[in-house]
């Protein structure tokens, strides 16, 4: 998960009290965690209990230990949030030790697997003595973590929330951002799988699969197949074509990717009718590529 998104969610949850330097620290924490997960995967070690048939088999005792770990994390997460509520009432920023604890909590939550995150979300949802705003912030951060690491599991939770007023997360800006992130992550690894899901659920859940979610999906698909991503702008009926093109172009980060993207952009523009809209789309796409090249 991008540090800025993760931090923004936790800021919402605990009072908005972390400085820029801690965003850099969180980025380092996330990078270290991702590296360890990659090394474990290469060694054949299962790091996601949602796929128990892969890698090392998880025993009943190990599963119980992992469940207990998730409940312990939730308990400490809730207690810490209450501390932050009290700190917010007093006013003033947290000291360095508190800031370090915040980053440590973020790292711990990001280390949980799918089943553990679901337990944590259920525990936070059931907590009686925290503000609703805090509850939504904590759940939002957890769902965003799930969206980044286990997108299909996150989408399942968000689907429940979209049809159930008591669902895990209100489908406001935070819920919609989680859906966009989940679809982007899914489409990055499996663009056709994500596309089939959108095709099958978009019409049934328009409040959930909105233009923001569709832009997330095509931005992920663009990493593997820019031509497909451009084609989907029209197929999915995105209203703001220029913004959608920016979402696709933004996926090109290396010189080779930008060259491939430029070719795909030219092919896409050739399918549009001549006129001001095509001209704006072309200039906007080229500008985004140029900005990416500048870093």
131-186 pLDDT, tens per residue?
Answer: 888 887 788 888 888 898 899 999 988 887 766 655 555 556 677 888 999 999 99
Residue 143 · residue 151 · CB < 8 Å: no
Q: What is the distance between the alpha carbons of residues 255 and 240, in angstroms, rounded to a whole number?
A: 27
Residue 261 · residue 249 · CB < 8 Å: yes
Q: What is the arithmetic mean of pLDDT over 54-74?
A: 77
Give the residue carrying structure tokens 């599991």: 153
Ramachandran quadrant class, 28 (left: phi over 0; alpha: psi -120 to 50; beta: rest): alpha
Question: What's the pLDDT score for residue 172?
Answer: 61
Question: What's the pLDDT score for residue 85?
Answer: 80
Q: What is the arithmetic mean of pLDDT over 66-84?
A: 89
Encoding tokens for residue 86? Answer: 């009290």
Question: What's the pLDDT score for residue 42?
Answer: 55
Question: What's the pLDDT score for residue 168?
Answer: 56
Question: What's the pLDDT score for residue 270?
Answer: 93
Return the exposure string of 96-132: e unless at least 16 CB atoms fall within 10 Å of the residue's CB, then b. Answer: eebbebbbebbbbbbbbbbbbbbbbbebbbebeebee
Question: What's the pLDDT score for residue 174?
Answer: 73
Give the residue carrying structure tokens 């009718």: 273
The residues, any chain, with a CB within 8 Å of residue 233's CB and separated by 6 or more, are 218, 241, 244, 245, 248, 268
Q: What is the distance between the alpha carbons of residues 221 and 90, in angstroms, rounded to a whole number?
A: 46
The secondary element (H helix, E strand) that includes residue 183 is helix 173-189
- Angle at CA 20, nearest 5°, toward 14 and 25? 85
- pLDDT averaged over every residue in the chain: 79
Q: What is the distance between the alpha carbons of residues 274 and 247, in angstroms, rounded to a whole number?
A: 22
Question: What's the pLDDT score for residue 1?
Answer: 41
Question: What's the pLDDT score for residue 222?
Answer: 96
Encoding tokens for residue 268? Answer: 């896409």
Question: What's the pLDDT score for residue 263?
Answer: 96
Size of the chain in residues: 295
Question: What's the pLDDT score for residue 62?
Answer: 78
Give the residue carrying structure tokens 């308990």: 75
Question: What's the pLDDT score for residue 166?
Answer: 53
**What angle do helix axes 173-189 and 151-163 make, rounded to 10 degrees?**
150
Encoding tokens for residue 164? Answer: 């159930």
| 261: nearest Cα among 221, 295, 294 | 221
Residue 198 · residue 217 · CB < 8 Å: yes
What share of the chain in percent tops pLDDT 90? Answer: 32
Q: What is the arithmetic mean of pLDDT over 259-270?
A: 94
Q: Is the pLDDT of residue 202 over 80?
A: yes
């Amino acid at each position: 998960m991008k540090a800025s998104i993760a931090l923004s969610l936790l800021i919402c949850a605990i009072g908005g009290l972390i400085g820029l330097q801690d965003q850099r620290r969180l980025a380092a924490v996330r990078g270290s965690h991702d590296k360890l997960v990659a090394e474990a995967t290469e060694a054949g070690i299962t790091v996601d209990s949602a796929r128990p048939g892969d890698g090392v088999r998880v025993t009943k005792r190990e599963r119980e230990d992992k469940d207990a770990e998730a409940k312990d994390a939730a308990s400490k997460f809730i207690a810490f949030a209450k501390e932050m509520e009290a700190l917010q009432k007093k006013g003033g920023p947290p000291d360095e030790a508190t800031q370090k604890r915040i980053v440590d909590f973020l790292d711990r939550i990001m280390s949980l697997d799918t089943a553990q995150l679901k337990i944590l979300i259920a525990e936070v949802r059931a907590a009686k003595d925290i503000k609703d705003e805090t509850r939504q912030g904590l759940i939002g951060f957890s769902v965003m973590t799930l969206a980044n690491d286990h997108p299909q599991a996150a989408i399942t939770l968000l689907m429940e929330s979209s049809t159930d007023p008591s669902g895990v997360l209100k489908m406001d800006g935070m819920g919609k951002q989680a859906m966009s992130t989940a679809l982007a992550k899914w489409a990055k690894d499996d663009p056709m799988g994500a596309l089939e899901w959108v095709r099958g659920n978009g019409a049934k859940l328009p409040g959930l699969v909105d233009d923001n979610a569709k832009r997330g999906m095509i931005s992920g698909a663009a990493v593997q197949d820019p031509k497909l991503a451009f084609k989907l702008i029209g197929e999915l009926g995105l209203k703001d074509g220029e913004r959608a093109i920016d979402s696709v172009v933004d996926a090109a980060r290396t010189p080779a990717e930008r060259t491939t993207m430029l070719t795909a952009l030219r092919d896409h523009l050739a399918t549009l009718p001549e006129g001001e809209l095509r001209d704006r789309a072309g200039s906007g796409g080229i500008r985004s590529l140029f900005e990416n090249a500048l870093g």
